[in-house]
Amino acid sequence: MKKSVITIAVAATVGLGTIFGGVSIKTEAESISSLKGEQNKIHDKRSSIKSDINQANDKINTLKDQQIDVKSEMKRLDFAIEDTITKIDDKSEKIKETKAEVAKLQAETKVIIERIKKRNVLLKERARTYQENGGMVNYLDVLMGSTSFSDFIDRANAVATIVQADQEIIKQHEADKEELAQKQAKVEKDLSSLQTMLADLKNMNQQLNQQKKEKDKLLASLKDQEEEAHEGMMELQEEEQLLAAQEAAIQKAIQMEKEAQARAAEEAKRRSTTSSNNGNNSGSQSNSTPNVSSGYWTQPAAGYLSSGFGGRGSEMHYGVDIANGNKVAIVAAASGVVSRSYYSSTYGNCIFVSHSINGQVYTTVYAHMTSRSVGSGASVKKGQKIGIMGNTGASHGQHLHFELHKGPWTMDKRYAINPVGIVPLP
């Protein structure tokens, strides 16, 4: 998932600006009313984000349940595959045994065939003798016609019982043929059946493995969706924390606004009586720190403008970049309250400061600093050092990325405005 602005964004702050003579200001009631209005907007936005967080959490739980179901199905498939493989091995072994039976039968077949041949010779000899002797069997002829003692015995027995054994010999002859045919048919049938079952099992195993691959893809997709939902929820949680910090800073600003109004009145009174107090201490500033300007805003860093506000390539640049090769102090562009000061993987060391200027909330962002000098919740004065320019985070070269928002900071940066003409810049 693409990193959200919030994960790379800087800490937002709500602060209040001091009021200077010669500048019209809202009444105390109007200023505080404006601040409370901004506070209510942030509160409503937080409520909306909390609802989105709950929805994201529900989605994550649903994805987890779906993963449990898929894992359960994958477990079933694993058992089915294991069972199929066992059956394949069993059928393969039986095919092996059946083939051995076939080989054994082939040997037995040779024996049966040999017996059949011998009976054929015997029956033919008997028929010939019957024909020559008119049906009478001469024992001496049988004896003299034998080729061996064993054959003599066979012939003698055959002649002695030929009449009674005719049907038995023929029956045995046919039985041997039938036995041979049955054995061959049975073995061929068993072998064919086993081969069919083996082919079916292999096909089933292939289908089960394909189903498992599909479940693997589905599980990977669900995990990606869960990771994406987690990232989205973390972004929402970070945004909610940021808005909470801004809301707290505005609450602090409401109280400080009253004090600012009082100080402004006293300052205006003093200026009307003592003109010598209008000088500034710019002479004490070093070359690496900009002079503090009069008015609400001052330049946040010394250097040159290396990139302006607006479109930059295919992206929108929501701020301006001030570059400088020397060690440069970063100062608060206006008085305010630091709502967050932290390190971002993209913006590096960064700070958000919110300002209340004549009842209008502004938020300034300072990014890529080498170090930060103030923490969350601190009140800062215009021109106060808050860090050192650097090159941290997703930065290319030492510079300050400075953003100005007319209102609170939001993830979509809808309130970002061009600081040129508002905040003094190099």
Instruction: Give the pLDDT of residue 404.
Output: 98
Tokens of 319: 């701020």
- 335 or 156, higher pLDDT: 335
Are 87 and 46 found together in one domain? no
40 and 185 belong to one structural domain: no
Place 274 in a pLDDT band, splitting at 50, 70 and 90.
Answer: low
Residues 218 and 256 in one domain: no
CATH code for the domain in which residue 375 is found: 2.70.70.10
Report the percentage of the chain scoring pLDDT > 90. Answer: 24
Reported as a pLDDT band with limits 50, 70 and 90, residue 304 is very high
pLDDT, tens only, 47-106: 888 888 888 888 888 888 888 888 888 888 888 888 888 888 887 888 888 878 777 877
Mean pLDDT of 197-212: 84
Domain assignment of residue 76, yes or no: yes
* Same-domain pairing of 253 and 326: yes
Buried b (16+ CB within 10 A) or exposed e, 6-22: bbbbbbbbbbbbbbeee
Instruction: Check whether 220 has a pLDDT greater than 50.
Output: yes
Q: Pick from 165, 194, 224: which residue ends a domain?
A: 224
- 283 has pLDDT over 50: no
pTM to 2 decimals? 0.51
Average pLDDT over residues 411-421: 93
Average pLDDT, the chain: 78
Q: Is residue 284 part of a domain?
A: no
pLDDT value for 132: 62
Measured between alpha carbons, how far is 93 from 136 in angstroms, rounded to an integer?
58
Q: How far apart are the first and last CA of the chain?
A: 37
pLDDT at 112 over 70: yes
What is the Cα–Cα distance from 313 to 306, expressed in whole angstroms? 15
Instruction: Report whether 250 contacts 23 (CB < 8 A).
Output: no
- Residues 78 and 178 placed together within one structural domain of the fold: yes
- Using one digit for the tens of pLDDT, what is the confidence trace for 122-156? 767 766 665 566 554 455 565 566 666 666 666 66
Predicted local confidence at residue 14, as pLDDT: 37
CB 341 within 8 A of CB 11: yes
> Which residue would you say has higher pLDDT here, 31 or 415?
415
The answer to whether position 119 is within a domain reads yes
Most confident segment among 7-16, 210-219, 274-283, 349-358: 349-358
Mean pLDDT value across residues 35-40 = 77
Pick the closest to residue 21 from 365, 332, 223, 271 (CA basis): 271
Q: What is the CATH number of the domain that holds 199?
A: 1.10.287
Average pLDDT (332-350) is 91
- 259 plus 384 within the same structural domain: yes
357 found inside a domain = yes
282 is a domain residue = no
Average pLDDT on 220-242 reads: 80
**Quick check: 309 pLDDT over 90?**
yes
**Does residue 263 sit in the same domain as residue 411?**
yes
Q: Is residue 23 over pLDDT 50? A: no
Counted domains in the chain: 2
- Angstrom distances, CA of residue 196 to CA of 102, 187, 189, 243: 17, 14, 10, 70
Tens digit of each residue's pLDDT (9 = 90 or more) over 152-204: 666 666 655 554 555 666 677 677 777 777 777 877 787 788 788 888 888 88
pLDDT at 165: 55
**Rounded distance, CA 9 to CA 12, Å?**
9
Domain span including residue 329:
5-53+241-274+294-417
Closest CA to 206 of 52, 353, 26, 81: 81
Convert the pLDDT of each residue in 351-386 to its tens digit. 999 898 887 889 999 999 999 999 998 999 999 999
